[in-house]
Amino acid sequence: MLSELVYGARISLLVGFGATLIAMLVGGLVGLLAGYFGGWVDTVLMGITDYFLVLPALALMIVLAAVFGPSLRNIILVIGLLQWTATARVIRSQVRSVRERTFVKRARAMGARDVYIMRRHVLPQVGTLLMANTVLTIAIAIFNETSLSFLGLGDPTAVSWGTMLHFAFSSAAISAGAWWFVVPPGVAVILVVLACSLLGQAIEDSLNPRLAVSHLASGRLRLRRVTSVR
């Protein structure tokens, strides 16, 4: 069980990082183009994004995984191509704010091209948010891979935490009282998802000075309230 748990961590993390890379590339590009150009580009890209947002993600993943077959590559592609919508929305709203700032308007007035402005001025401003969202997406991708593998739609030749749970339930491990077949992979998934969530929040707080200032101000306010009560 220990060897399966360690080996399954490699597969689960591989799916998490691979699917997140696809989601960040697609979502980041869509959000950047929609937020910077606006107009009909924003309308078309956000219309496509809204269409994917209203679809039930897990149900669509189950259908696509069943259609394309149970393989590790298909699982990575299915999860990655259905997890980019939230990133696109977040990046688009941030880019719309950045493009109205003074240094971007000055660069545009000096004749800088759109590609240069997006690469040198817009991307560094949204990079912090993209990094934090990347860590959070890793947690979602691992959870989705666990769900698909638990339902028997994962790669049967690759041991992951989801396939461990699948074979544990299919062999009635809980009814037999063999908790060691179920608890370790379940706890591993919970710990990784929680760690990614906390790490993403910590990265956003440390790299965004405005959040640090707001947290410091809220801490001072709480301190003043406690002092006044005393």
Report yes or no on 134 lying in a domain: yes
Give 98-139 pLDDT, tens digit per residue. Answer: 888 888 888 888 888 888 888 888 888 888 788 888 888 888
Give residue 209's pLDDT: 56
Has residue 213 been placed in a domain? no
pLDDT at 215: 45
Coil, strand, or helix at residue 96? helix
Q: Return the pLDDT at 207.
A: 65
Task: Determine the structural domain holding residue 99 and report its residue range.
Answer: 2-204
State residue 218's pLDDT score.
47
Cα(28)–Cα(26) distance, rounded to whole angstroms? 6
Task: Tell me, yes or no, whether 217 lies in a domain.
Answer: no
Residue 227 in domain: no
Distance from C-alpha of 21 to C-alpha of 26, rounded to nearest angstrom: 9
Distances (CA, A) of 178 to 1, 3, 86, 160, 167: 12, 17, 39, 19, 12
The backbone region for 214, taken as left when phi is positive above 0, alpha when psi lies in -120 to 50, beta otherwise, is: alpha
CA distance linking residue 69 with residue 92, whole number of Å: 34
Q: Is residue 223 part of a domain?
A: no
Q: Residue 25 and residue 29: Cα distance in Å, rounded?
A: 6
Domain count, the chain: 1
- Closest by CA position to 114, among listed 213, 169, 41: 41
Give me the CATH number covering residue 107. 1.10.3720.10
- Sign for the pseudo-dihedral over CA of 170, 173, 179, 184: negative
User: Is residue 127, in this structure, part of any structural domain at all?
Assistant: yes
Residue 230 lies in a domain: no
On whether the pTM is more than 0.85, the answer is no
- Residues (pLDDT < 50) of the chain are 213-219, 221, 223, 225-229
